[in-house]
Structure 1
Amino acid sequence: MSFHKRIDEHAGQRAFIPPRSGAEWLVGVGFRCWLAGYDTGDIACWENGWNEYNRILGPSRAKRAVTELACWVRAVRSSASRKIEYYPFGCSGFCPDECMAISLIAASQNHRCPAMQACALALTGSDLVEPVIDAANAFADALQEADQCLSQEAVAALVAGKATGREGGIADRR
C-alpha cells in the first residue's frame, strides 16, 4: 500500500492513511496520542499510544521509542507558536500537522537536513526549531534501532506537495 492513499474526512481536509503497522503509522499515532495526553491530561491517551508501540515493537523496543517520542512531542509543543492540530485516536488518516510530523521524522531518518528544517518550521510556526530537530533525531534513531524505517517517499510526498500545492502531497491547510 502506498503512503499516498488519501481519503476525504473531517470537514474536507485530506487525510493520509499509511499501513496500520508501518513506521509512518507509529509516528503519526504516537504524535497524536502524546499531544492529546499533554492537552487533556488524560493518561488513557498515552496508554493508547503505548499499546500501539508495544503491539508492533514489543515491550523492550517500545520503551525506548516511546521515551524519545515523548521528548520529541514535548519539544514540538514548547517550541510551537501556534496550536498543533491532530485527529482523535480512532481516525484512520492523519491531518496536515500529523503528516508534517511524520515527514519530519522521515527526513531525519533519510538524512534530508533541509527538509527537516522546513518541516520543523512548518510544524511549529517558530524559528526556535533546534530543540525540535534534536529530539526528532533521537526519536528517529530509536525507531531505526527498532527496525522501523520511514520511507523517503514520506518526505518527498508531504514536503513537495505542501510547497507546491499539488495533489501529490499534503493537503493545503484550511
Structure 2
Amino acid sequence: MSIHNKIDKIGRVQVPPPRKTGAEWLVGVGFRCWLAGYDTGDIACWETGWNAYARVLGAERAKRAVTELACWVRAVRTSASRKIEYYPFGCAGFCRDECMAISLIAASQHHRCPAMRACALALTGSSLVEPVIDAANAFADALQEADQLLSPEAVAALAAPLDGAGRDCRTLRN
C-alpha cells in the first residue's frame, strides 16, 4: 500500500482516483467499476464509479450516464459467453476487454456500425449482440449529451498491438 492510500473504517483500502478524466478513461473506469460491482456484490465498486462520473460530469449529468452505463454493462454480462476481464480500479492501463469496451462506445459515437458489431462480438464471445449494441448506443448518446466525445482513434484500438502477454492497449493507456 502506498503512502497515499488510506484505509476506511471497515478496512477497505481507499485508492485515490486516477488523474485522467477524458471520455475514454471515463468509459474504461465505469466499465471496470460496474463489472467489479456485479462480480463482487460490493456496493463500494459502484460508488467508486459514481464518484468518478459525478466528479467529471457533475451530479445531474452523471445520473443518466451512470444509468445507461449500468444497463450497458448488464447487457454485456448477460450476452457474454465467457468471463469478461478487467483490471482493479487503481491500475493505470486498461486490459484487452476494457479496451474493446471503449472501442465499442467510440464506434457508436462515430456511427461505425461494422466496427460496433465486431467489438461487441469480440467482447462477449457471443453472436447475441443486439442488446449489447442497443445499450451501447444509449450509453454513447448519454455521454455525448454530457459533452464526453470519444476519439475516433479509440475505434482503431481494436487492432492496436498488445504486449506479448496480451495486456494493455497501448493507444488507451492513461
SS of corresponding position for 2:37: helix
Superposed CA RMSD: 1.5
TM-score (normalised: structure 2): 0.82
TM-score (normalised: structure 1): 0.82
- Is 1:32 equivalent to 2:71 in the alignment? no
| Superposition misfits of 4+ residues, deviation over 4 angstroms | none
- For residues 62 and 129 of structure 1, the distance between their equivalents in structure 2, rounded to whole angstroms, comes to 26
Indicate the residue corresponding to 1:109 in structure 2.
Answer: 109
Structure having the higher Rg: 2
* Matched residue type, 1:71: C
Equivalences for residues 1-174 of structure 1 within 5 A: 20-156=20-156, 158-161=157-160, 167=161, 170=162, 173=166
User: Which ranges in structure 1 are unaligned for 5 or more consecutive residues?
Assistant: 1-17, 162-166
Indicate the residue corresponding to 1:7 in structure 2.
Answer: none
1:89-110 deviation line (CA, Å, top 9, x unaligned): 1111100000000000000000
SS of corresponding position for 2:94: coil
Structure 1 contact 79–124 (Cα < 8 Å) conserved: yes
- For residues 109 and 125 of structure 1, the distance between their equivalents in structure 2, rounded to whole angstroms, comes to 22
Structure 2 contact 99–158 (Cα < 8 Å) conserved: no
- For residues 77 and 87 of structure 1, the distance between their equivalents in structure 2, rounded to whole angstroms, comes to 16
- For residues 140 and 116 of structure 1, the distance between their equivalents in structure 2, rounded to whole angstroms, comes to 12
SS of corresponding position for 1:98: helix
Structure 1 contact 104–116 (Cα < 8 Å) conserved: yes
1:114-162 deviation line (CA, Å, top 9, x unaligned): 0000000000000000000000000000000000000100001x1233x
Matched residues, number? 149
User: Which ranges in structure 2 are unaligned for 5 or more consecutive residues?
Assistant: 1-17, 168-174
Indicate the residue corresponding to 1:9 in structure 2.
Answer: none
Structure 1 contact 19–25 (Cα < 8 Å) conserved: no
1:6-47 deviation line (CA, Å, top 9, x unaligned): xxxxxxxxxxxx971100000000000000000000000000
* Matched residue type, 2:158: V
